[in-house]
Amino acid sequence: LAGIGDLIVTATSMHSRNNRCGVLLGQGMPVEEAVREVGMVVEGLNALPAAMQLAERYGVDMPIVKGVNAVVRGDMSPAEMGRALMMRDKTPEVNQSEMNVRFESALMRRRRDAEHRRVLVAGTFPMLAYDEIGWLKQVLPGNKGIERPDSGKGIPLSKFHPHPRPPSLPKRLRN
């Protein structure tokens, strides 16, 4: 909890050196002048080059850090950075299908003795509606789930908890 408290104070309190420097930079003050105004070490400025190197090394997209780095280096103004961040294409922070595969793999490793079958759907698990889960349970023999032909492993439908309404064929699956 102490770390979370430190993060909250660093991000929100005007008594925080990092926050105060960031506000001054956002108001258009040059970096050297903002650091002089704060009068103490601003760790965030010193950490920027390392954050940029790590993001590049591991292929992590960090648009806010890149924007702050560009402002600190003088490559763009805070207003330009704000516009660039707000106008960028909307992207997921984590590739959902990659996250699902990693989660399922970890779950299967932990429960080797349990029978698992992967549910194969168009889209991601958050898009699998409760009615569809109920319908799949109703129509599949043994209610064990759908398995991928290439793996034979996955999560059983019994792990999903459908809405209490009686299952019906979803509209998009009719016809």
Write out the chain's pLDDT in tens, 175 residues.
667 887 787 778 888 898 899 999 999 999 999 999 999 999 889 999 999 999 898 888 889 999 999 999 999 999 999 999 899 887 766 665 666 666 666 766 666 555 545 544 444 444 445 555 555 555 555 544 444 444 444 445 455 444 444 445 556 655 4
Q: Directed axis angle between helix 17-26 and helix 63-73, to 10°?
A: 70
Q: Which amino acid is at 20?
A: R
Domain residue spans of the chain: 2-87, 96-170
Is the alpha carbon torsion for 117, 123, 129, 132 positive or negative? Answer: negative
Give the pTM.
Answer: 0.51
Look at residue 48 in the predicted model and tell me its pLDDT: 93
Architecture label for domain 2-87: Orthogonal Bundle (1.10)
CA 137 to centroid of chain Cα atoms:
30
Look at residue 164 in the predicted model and tell me its pLDDT: 45
Look at residue 61 in the predicted model and tell me its pLDDT: 86
Is the alpha carbon torsion for 82, 88, 92, 94 positive or negative? Answer: negative
Look at residue 150 in the predicted model and tell me its pLDDT: 42
Residues ≥6 apart with Cβ < 8 Å to 40:
17
CA–CA separation, 48 vs 72, rounded Å?
9
Left, alpha or beta for 143 (phi > 0: left; psi -120 to 50: alpha)? Answer: left
CA–CA separation, 73 vs 79, rounded Å?
15
Left, alpha or beta for 154 (phi > 0: left; psi -120 to 50: alpha)? Answer: left
Q: Are 19 and 44 in contact (CB under 8 A)?
A: no
Q: Are 130 and 138 in contact (CB under 8 A)?
A: no
Residues ≥6 apart with Cβ < 8 Å to 62:
51, 52, 55
Look at residue 21 in the predicted model and tell me its pLDDT: 92
Look at residue 7 in the predicted model and tell me its pLDDT: 78
Look at residue 104 in the predicted model and tell me its pLDDT: 67
Q: Are 108 and 116 in contact (CB under 8 A)?
A: yes
